[in-house]
Structure 1
Amino acid sequence: MKKIAIIGGGSWGSALAMVLADNGNDVTMYMRNSENASEINEYHANSRYLKDITLNSEIIATTNIADISECEIVVFAVPTQNIRTILTENSGVFNNQALFVNVAKGIEIGTNKRISEIFGEFFDVNRFVALSGPTHAEEVAIKMPTAIVAASLSNSAMSTVQDVFMNRDFRVYTNEDIIGVELGGATKNILALGLGIADGLGFGDNTKAAIMTRGMHEIARLGIALGGRPETFYGLTGMGDLIVTSTSMHSRNRRAGILIGQGHSIEETEKKVNMVVEGIKTCKAVKSLIEENDVEMPITEEIYNILFNDYSISDSVERLMERNKKREVLY
Structure 2
Amino acid sequence: MKILIIGGGAFGTAVGSQLAYNSLNEIYLFQRSSSRYEELMKEHTNHTYFPNKKLNPALKSVIDYKYINQFTVIMIALPTKFIAGELEKIKPYLKKDVLIVNLSKGILNNNKTIVELIREVLSVDNVVSLKGASFASEMIDSAPTLLTLGYDYKEQYNVITSIIKNTNIYIDYTTDIRGVELLSALKNIYAIFLGYVDGQYNSANTRFMVLTKCFAEIKIILKGLGGREESLLLSAGFGDLGLTALNDLSRNRTLGLLIGKGFFNSDFTNHSVVLEGIKTLNMIDEAMPDLLKKRLPIFMRMANFFISPSENKMDIVFDELMENNYKTVLTYGTFDLFHYGHVEILRRAKSLGDRLVVGLSTDEFNLLKGKKCEFSFEKRKRMLESIEYVDLVIPESEWEQKVDDVTKNNVDIFVMGDDWRGKFDFLSEYCQVHYFERTEGISTTKLKSILKD
1:307 aligns with 2:306: yes
One-letter amino acid of the counterpart of residue 286, structure 2? S
One-letter amino acid of the counterpart of residue 322, structure 1? E
Distance 1:292 1:72 in 2: 45
> Which segments of structure 1 move beyond 4 Å, counting only runs of 4 or more?
267-271, 327-331
In structure 2, relative to structure 1, the CA distance for the partners of 1:314 and 1:138 (3 Å cut) is: same
Distance 1:133 1:221 in 2: 20
Residue 209 of structure 1 corresponds to which residue in structure 2?
Answer: 208
Write the mapping of 1:186-225 to structure 2, written as runs, cut at 5 A: 186-201=185-200, 203-225=202-224
Write the mapping of 1:264-303 to structure 2, written as runs, cut at 5 A: 265-267=267-269, 270-271=272-273, 277-291=275-289, 294-295=292-293, 296-303=295-302
Unaligned residue ranges in structure 2 (runs of 5+): 328-353, 356-453
Residue 117 of structure 1 corresponds to which residue in structure 2?
Answer: 116
In structure 2, relative to structure 1, the CA distance for the partners of 1:64 and 1:239 (3 Å cut) is: same
Distance 2:322 2:129 in 1: 38
One-letter amino acid of the counterpart of residue 103, structure 1? L
In structure 2, relative to structure 1, the CA distance for the partners of 1:44 and 1:277 (3 Å cut) is: farther
- Provide the secondary structure at the position in 1 that maps to 2:289: helix
One-letter amino acid of the counterpart of residue 294, structure 1? L
Distance 2:223 2:163 in 1: 30
**When the two structures are superposed, what TM-score results if normalisation uses the length of structure 1?**
0.87
Task: List per-residue Cα deviations over 1:9-52 (Å, max 9, x = no partner).
Answer: 11110111012211121121113344433332232111222242
Quote the RMSD (CA, aligned, Å). 2.6
One-letter amino acid of the counterpart of residue 268, structure 2? I
Deviation at 1:112, TM superposition (A): 1.7
One-letter amino acid of the counterpart of residue 192, structure 1? A
- Provide the secondary structure at the position in 1 that maps to 2:32: coil
One-letter amino acid of the counterpart of residue 83, structure 2? I
Deviation at 1:7, TM superposition (A): 0.8
- Check whether the contact 2:285–2:303 (CA below 8 A) recurs between aligned residues: yes
Task: List per-residue Cα deviations over 1:201-246 (Å, max 9, x = no partner).
Answer: 4543333323321111111112122332211112221111100111
User: Percent of counterpart pairs with the same letter?
Assistant: 29
One-letter amino acid of the counterpart of residue 57, structure 1? P
**Equivalent pairs, count:** 324
In structure 2, relative to structure 1, the CA distance for the partners of 1:172 and 1:289 (3 Å cut) is: same
One-letter amino acid of the counterpart of residue 82, structure 2? N
Distance 2:65 2:310 in 1: 44
Task: List per-residue Cα deviations over 1:282-330 (Å, max 9, x = no partner).
Answer: 2222212323883532212222222232354535423x64358316895
- Provide the secondary structure at the position in 2 that maps to 1:191: helix
Deviation at 1:133, TM superposition (A): 1.1
- Provide the secondary structure at the position in 2 that maps to 1:216: helix
Say which one has the larger Rg.
2
Higher-RCO chain (CA-CA 8 Å, sequence separation at least 6): 1
- Provide the secondary structure at the position in 1 that maps to 2:95: coil
One-letter amino acid of the counterpart of residue 21, structure 1? A
**When the two structures are superposed, what TM-score results if normalisation uses the length of structure 2?**
0.65
Residue 97 of structure 1 corresponds to which residue in structure 2?
Answer: 97
Residue 75 of structure 2 corresponds to which residue in structure 1?
Answer: 75
Unaligned residue ranges in structure 1 (runs of 5+): none
Residue 66 of structure 1 corresponds to which residue in structure 2?
Answer: 66
In structure 2, relative to structure 1, the CA distance for the partners of 1:323 and 1:148 (3 Å cut) is: closer
